């Protein structure tokens, strides 16, 4: 049985990503394909958008009623910010320019769906005040586990020694974030059939893969193909298996449907320096 999530232990262990020993001069010595750079830019945008997610979250009263939530979200936002900074520094070290106002740019151009969601969260949370916090917990659960597997695939597919170190360290923090969201989601789902129905309905109406909304859909599709081989790979099924372990979510197949509906298939071999033994997604 997994040990219960301990918020005090989490806070004590929280810290910015350690990059003090990274040799940034080594970064450009290992070539990347254009598709790899495009995917890394997607990670940069995704990790750097945490501030805006929290901004919308603070408008939903129900999330503030969870005692562990305020300390967790402060540490989570801090750690995620340094994930984004790591990708920025990596790309700049490789020779890819990042505009100083890049964050402002993707926020201004975020999708219509993202803008509607920001308003809808506040409205719907008032209709289902008991169930709505669970929606946030389940959203965090699926997005964090997706990100965890995405980093493993990034290591396997790009095979860059400096990036491998950065991603491995980020994964450790993402796994702790996932543990928080999953435990709180599971507790709320177990306690209420109504919550299960509200969460299921919200997922079926509004879920999209992590990063979509702040990035155009075509960028999300590209990242899923590059990392996961779309519906032809194994990683999407691993994400869905984790979600189906939660009460009321035995049906969860939204990621597969997204890949099929958008025609996301196996990535071309030309996207990778070598394509030996792919995909290699670590079990968890």
pLDDT at 58: 64
Burial class for 44, CB neighbours closer than 10 Å (0-12, 13-18, 19+): buried
pLDDT at 136: 84
Cα torsion 109, 113, 116, 121: sign: negative
Q: Are 94 and 162 in contact (CB under 8 A)?
A: no
Q: What gap in Å lies between CA 18 and CA 79, rounded to an integer?
A: 10
Q: Are 106 and 51 in contact (CB under 8 A)?
A: no
Q: Closest Cα partner for 54 from 149, 206, 224, 177?
A: 177
* 197's tokens: 């129905």
Q: Output the CA–CA distances (angstroms, integers) from residue 182 to 103, 174, 190, 206, 245, in the order listed.
A: 28, 12, 12, 19, 10
Q: What gap in Å lies between CA 179 and CA 197, rounded to an integer?
A: 22
pLDDT at 32: 95
CA dihedral 276→281→82→177, nearest 10 degrees, is 180
Q: What gap in Å lies between CA 247 and CA 236, rounded to an integer?
A: 20
pLDDT at 278: 46
Domains of the chain: 36-271 (1.10.620.20)
Q: What gap in Å lies between CA 60 and CA 112, rounded to an integer?
A: 20
Helix (H, G, I), strand (E, B) or coil at 87: helix
pLDDT at 57: 66
pLDDT tens column, 218-236: 999 999 999 999 999 999 9
- pLDDT 10s digit of each residue in the chain, 284 long? 456 788 889 999 999 999 999 999 999 999 999 999 999 999 998 888 777 667 666 665 556 667 788 888 889 989 998 999 999 999 999 999 988 766 665 555 554 455 445 545 555 656 555 667 888 889 899 999 999 999 999 999 999 999 999 999 999 999 999 999 999 999 999 999 999 998 999 899 889 998 887 788 999 999 999 999 999 999 999 999 999 999 999 999 999 999 999 999 999 999 987 654 444 455 56
């Amino acid at each position: 049985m997994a040990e219960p999530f301990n918020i005090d232990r989490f806070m004590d262990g929280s810290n910015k990503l350690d990059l003090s020993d990274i040799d940034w001069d080594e970064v450009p010595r290992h070539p990347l394909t254009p598709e790899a750079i495009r995917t890394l830019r997607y990670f940069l945008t995704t990790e750097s958008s945490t501030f805006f997610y929290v901004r919308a979250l603070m408008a939903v009263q129900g999330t503030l009623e969870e005692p562990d939530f305020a300390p967790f979200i402060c540490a989570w936002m801090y750690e995620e910010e340094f994930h984004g900074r790591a990708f920025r520094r990596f790309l700049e070290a490789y020779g890819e320019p990042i505009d100083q106002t890049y964050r402002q740019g993707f926020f201004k151009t975020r999708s219509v769906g993202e803008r509607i969601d920001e308003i809808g969260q506040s409205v719907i949370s008032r209709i289902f005040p008991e169930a709505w916090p669970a929606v946030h917990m389940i959203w965090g659960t699926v997005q964090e586990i997706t990100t965890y597997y995405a980093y493993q695939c990034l290591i396997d597919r790009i095979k860059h020694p400096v990036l491998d170190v950065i991603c491995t360290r980020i994964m450790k923090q993402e796994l702790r974030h996932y543990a928080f969201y999953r435990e709180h989601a599971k507790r709320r789902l177990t306690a209420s059939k109504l919550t299960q129905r509200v969460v299921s309905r919200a997922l079926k109406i509004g879920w999209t893969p992590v990063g979509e909304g702040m990035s155009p859909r075509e960028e999300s599709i590209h990242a899923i193909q590059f990392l996961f081989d779309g519906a032809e790979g194994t990683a999407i099924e691993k994400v869905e298996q984790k979600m189906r372990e939660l009460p009321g979510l035995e049906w969860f197949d939204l990621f597969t449907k997204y890949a099929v509906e958008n025609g996301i298939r196996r990535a071309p071999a030309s996207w990778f320096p070598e394509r030996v033994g792919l995909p290699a997604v670590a079990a968890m």
